Amino acid sequence: MRKSLIINDILKEICKGKIVSGGLLASKLGVSRTAVWKAVNALRADGYFISGLGGGYVLAPENRRLCGEQLSAVTGENIVFFEETVSTNEEIKSLAELGEKEFTVAVARAQSGGKGRQGRKFYSPEGGLYFSVLLRPALSPADCLKITTAAAVSMCEAIEAVAKKDCKIKWVNDIFIKDKKVCGILTEGVLDGESGGLKYAVLGVGLNVSLPKGGFNSAIEDTADSLFQTNAAPSLVYCALLDNFIKCFKNYYKDIKDMPHLESYKKRSYLDGKKVTYVKDGKAHTATACGISEKGELIVKEKGKEILLSSGEVRVSGYE
């Protein structure tokens, strides 16, 4: 028990990018230098890459093992970190019910029951960045679409800043790089039983950062990709992606009712000009996508008539 506390405390101290001497760590944590040395060795054995120049320690830029301490240090946010959990959206719901503050972020290295839209599963092996943010917005349940669209733009901006890749948004919540999905977003609104208003919302994001060790599963191997063609991008890259995302999203979120992200969303629309299929009232339709409305709906043209879609799934014709 005591040992794991020292380990967490040491991680907290050495993930800030500056070398910390063994002596300073020992006195800060009230333990012997030998205890520090042993804890650092345990962390190394656990896969953390710690440089140890001149008797000091720092989590090296080459470190590939993500941890909550580093995510907290880089983002400054209230991070709840899981090596693996069923679903970070579910973790945030539990925290919300306990009264946790807005913008608490649950992050997992892997999920065993990641949830996607339309009741689907979201494949969440190691290599991705899976996180959920607790929001307590003054919005109506129908306005949750604004959260999803702001999150999509924020993730595009984060990817462009960190990975230097151009992103498109496939309405409403998928981020594409060169015709392949790299990120999905699931916003869940939880309603207040009495008022029927929004009690809180959970914004869940799953980003394929590195390639999964065994590859993507057969259901998505032709349609999914990751930002980097490596099995393990440095942990600092994950931290920078989350940090950029949160800063960007917070900026949009303060005026979320007015959809300040709309122009940026429209500019990135993947479906514009594409032939699409969708199902409405149990009937399959074929149409051409022609833009995004002022409310974030998809505008499609079918038999010469413009139709607005506010929910549901749209597929590019001939693309499963």
Q: Which residues, in sequence order, are bridge partners of residue 175?
A: 169, 183
Pick from 117, 136, 180, 315 the residue near ligand BTN by CB under 6 A.
Answer: 117
Q: Which is nearer to ligand BTN, 113 or 214 (CB)?
A: 113
Q: Which is nearer to ligand BTN, 7 or 132 (CB)?
A: 132
Q: Which is nearer to ligand BTN, 67 or 129 (CB)?
A: 129
Q: Is 235 in the site for ligand BTN (CB under 6 A)?
A: no
Pick from 68, 125, 137, 206 the residue near ligand BTN by CB under 6 A.
Answer: 206
Q: How far is the CB of 167 from ligand BTN (least distance, A)?
A: 14
Q: Which is nearer to ligand BTN, 206 or 234 (CB)?
A: 206
Pick from 64, 115, 168, 170 the residue near ligand BTN by CB under 6 A.
Answer: 115
Q: Which is nearer to ligand BTN, 79 or 185 (CB)?
A: 185
Residues of this chain, 175-194, that bind ligand BTN according to CB under 6 A: 184-186
Q: Which is nearer to ligand BTN, 41 or 217 (CB)?
A: 217
Q: How far is the CB of 92 from ligand BTN (least distance, A)?
A: 8
Q: Which is nearer to ligand BTN, 131 or 249 (CB)?
A: 131
In total, the chain counts a number of residues equal to 320
DSSP string, the chain: -HHHHHHHHHHHHHTSSS-EEHHHHHHHHTS-HHHHHHHHHHHHHTT--EE-GGGEEEE-TT-----HHHHHHHH-S-EEEESSBS-HHHHHHHHHHTTPPTT-EEEES-BSS-B-GGG-B----BTEEEEEEEE--S--GGGHHHHHHHHHHHHHHHHHHHT----EEETTTEEEETTEEEEEEEEEEEE-TTT-SEEEEEEEEEEE-S--TT-S-TTTTTTB--SSSSS---HHHHHHHHHHHHHHHHHHHTTGGG-TTHHHHHHTBSSTT-EEEEEETTEEEEEEEEEE-TTSPEEEEETTEEEEE-SS-EEETT--
Q: Is 116 in the site for ligand BTN (CB under 6 A)?
A: yes
Binding mask 251-270 for ligand BTN (x = CB under 6 A): --------------------
Q: How far is the CB of 80 from ligand BTN (least distance, A)?
A: 13
Q: How far is the CB of 184 from ligand BTN (least distance, A)?
A: 2
Q: How far is the CB of 205 from ligand BTN (least distance, A)?
A: 6
Q: How far apart are CA 309 and CA 246, in angstroms?
A: 28
On whether the CB atoms of residues 244 and 284 are closer than 8 A, the answer is no
Q: Two tokens at 249? A: 């999203």
Q: Is 130 in the site for ligand BTN (CB under 6 A)?
A: yes
Q: Which is nearer to ligand BTN, 117 or 199 (CB)?
A: 117
Residues of this chain, 155-174, that bind ligand BTN according to CB under 6 A: 174
Q: How far is the CB of 116 from ligand BTN (least distance, A)?
A: 3
The strand order across the sheet containing 56-59 reads: 20-21, 56-59, 50-51
Q: How far apart are CA 30 and CA 246, in angstroms?
A: 35
Residues of this chain, 52-111, that bind ligand BTN according to CB under 6 A: 87-89, 111
Q: How far is the CB of 33 from ligand BTN (least distance, A)?
A: 40
| List of residues contacting ligand BTN (CB under 6 A) | 87-89, 111, 114-117, 120, 122, 124, 130-132, 174, 184-186, 204-206
